[in-house]
């Protein structure tokens, strides 16, 4: 008997072909949900979908191909989703780019630095485009994902003059900056959605073991560093998935909104600058402009 009951519910998990996202898709399938695995690679996504079906016995598991660094791909995926599924109860923005090989900003086809595009603007656009479906299916839940490593950036705020890494760039900085943007987006979204029946929370993920082969492409010294980090500090993706599933499905989490939640399902504080409402608003407006949503975003 599954721990949660998601029968009759439809859930999207981005980055569902590996790591935490794959375990979350499995947990949702075991709970009886219609699961939509939103994956960048159709091939990796299909292999993971077959695995989830085999392990859960739930055949109501689907693949939605989407590259979150591309706004055109997100818009196409949402149109496809809306054609195939009548409701949306849970949206989990789990996918992220943390490609340590990036040494300089790489711009997407839409002219945006890839890490910010994938980790912040992608979930921002996907969520906003899906809001009408979420609201129509309320009660519904949006779950975003940040990183415990943000603790090492206590004074960081949104660098509006450096969104494309034009002033300075390191992969690590770009990654944490994009995750901070997700924290602020989530707090703001939760307030904008007050009274709509749609909640928004964000998870603070600590070091979690990556699947075998996930870091084969990085240089040898980096692989050694990863292996050490994984051995010393990492929790299993299955364990991390439990927090995602709690936020997605637990009845006692239904009213929770605007919270930053750790791997023990406890609300935690984020950095001081992350609570600056003026920055939330400016970030929302800039994100809406960069994704071509300024006319339509009402949240």
Ligand X SMILES: NC(=O)c1ccc[n+]([C@@H]2O[C@H](COP(=O)([O-])OP(=O)(O)OC[C@H]3O[C@@H](n4cnc5c(N)ncnc54)[C@H](OP(=O)(O)O)[C@@H]3O)[C@@H](O)[C@H]2O)c1
Number of residues that bind ligand X (CB under 6 A): 29
Q: To the nearest whole angstrom, how small is the minimum distance from the Cβ of residue 38 to ligand X?
A: 7
Member of 5, 43, 211, 294 binding ligand X (CB under 6 A): 211
80 sits near ligand X (criterion: CB under 6 A): no
Nearest alpha-carbon partner for 127 in 263, 264, 1, 287? 287
Task: Give the sign of the dihedral formed by CA 56, CA 44, CA 21, CA 298.
Answer: negative
* Cα gap 203→148, rounded to integer Å: 9
- Of 1-9, 17-25, 254-262, 286-294, the segment contacting ligand X by CB under 6 A is 17-25
Residues 110-139 that bind ligand X (CB under 6 A): 118
**Shortest distance (Å) from residue 288 CB to ligand X:** 20
Long-range contacts of 136-140 (CB under 8 A, 24+ apart): 136/87, 137/10, 137/87, 137/88, 137/89, 138/196, 138/197, 138/198, 139/89, 139/197, 139/198, 139/199, 139/254, 140/88, 140/89, 140/90, 140/91, 140/197, 140/198, 140/199
**What residues numbered 146-185 form the site for ligand X, per CB under 6 A?**
147
Question: For ligand X, which residue of 6, 10, 11, 15 counts as binding (CB under 6 A)?
Answer: 15
The least CB distance from residue 65 to ligand X, in Å, is 9
Which residue among 58, 69, 199, 274 contacts ligand X (CB under 6 A)? Answer: 69
Separation CA 193–CA 191 (nearest Å): 5
Contact with ligand X (CB under 6 A): which of 67, 113, 188, 242? 67
Q: Where are the alpha helices (DSSP H) in the chain?
A: 19-30, 42-56, 71-84, 114-116, 122-136, 171-192, 220-233, 237-249, 277-290
d(CA 28, CA 32): 7
Distances (CA, A) of 235 to 20, 22, 39, 224: 11, 15, 23, 18
Interface residue with ligand X, options 30, 56, 58, 94 (CB under 6 A):
94
CB of 105 to ligand X, least distance (A): 15
User: Which is nearer to ligand X, 119 or 137 (by Cβ)?
Assistant: 119
Report the residue from 207, 218, 225, 286 that binds ligand X according to the rule CB under 6 A: 207
Work out the angle between the directed axes of helices 171-192 and 122-136 (0-180°, nearest 10): 20
> What x/- string results for residues 33 through 62 when contact with ligand X is judged by CB under 6 A?
-------xx--x------------------
Nearer to ligand X among residue 5 and residue 211 (C-beta): 211
Q: Which residues inside 220-259 make contact with ligand X, applying CB under 6 A?
A: 237
> Could you say which DSSP state residue 7 is in?
T
Shortest distance, position 92 Cβ to ligand X, whole Å: 10
* Residue 226 appears among annotated catalytic residues: no
Active site residues: 175
Q: Which positions touch ligand X (CB under 6 A)?
A: 14-15, 17-21, 40-41, 44, 66-69, 94-98, 118, 145, 147, 205, 207-208, 210-211, 214, 237
């Amino acid at each position: 008997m599954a721990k949660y009951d998601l029968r009759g519910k439809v859930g999207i998990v981005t980055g569902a072909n590996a790591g935490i996202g794959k375990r979350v898709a499995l947990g949702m399938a075991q709970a009886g949900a219609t699961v939509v695995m939103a994956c960048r690679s159709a091939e990796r996504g299909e292999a993971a979908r077959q695995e989830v079906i085999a392990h859960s016995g739930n055949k109501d598991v689907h693949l939605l191909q989407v590259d979150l660094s591309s706004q055109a791909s997100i818009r196409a995926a949402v149109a496809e989703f809306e054609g195939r599924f009548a409701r949306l109860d849970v949206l989990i923005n789990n996918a992220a780019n943390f490609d340590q090989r990036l040494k300089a900003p790489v711009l997407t086809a839409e002219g945006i630095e890839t890490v910010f595009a994938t980790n912040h603007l992608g979930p921002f656009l996907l969520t906003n485009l899906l809001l009408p479906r979420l609201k129509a299916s309320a009660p519904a839940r949006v779950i975003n994902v940040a990183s415990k490593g943000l603790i090492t950036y206590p004074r960081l705020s949104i660098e509006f003059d450096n969104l494309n890494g034009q002033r300075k760039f390191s992969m690590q900085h770009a990654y944490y900056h994009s995750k901070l943007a997700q924290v602020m987006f989530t707090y703001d979204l939760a307030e904008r959605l007050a009274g709509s029946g749609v909640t928004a929370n964000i998870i603070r993920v600590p070091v979690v073991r990556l699947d075998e082969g996930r870091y084969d492409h990085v240089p040898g010294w980096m692989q050694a560093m990863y292996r050490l980090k994984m051995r010393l500090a990492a929790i299993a993706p299955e364990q991390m998935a439990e927090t995602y599933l709690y936020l997605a499905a637990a009845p006692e989490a239904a009213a929770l909104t605007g919270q930053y939640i750790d791997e023990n399902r406890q609300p935690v504080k984020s950095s001081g600058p992350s609570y600056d409402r003026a920055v939330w608003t400016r970030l929302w407006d800039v994100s809406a402009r960069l994704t071509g949503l300024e006319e339509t975003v009402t949240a």
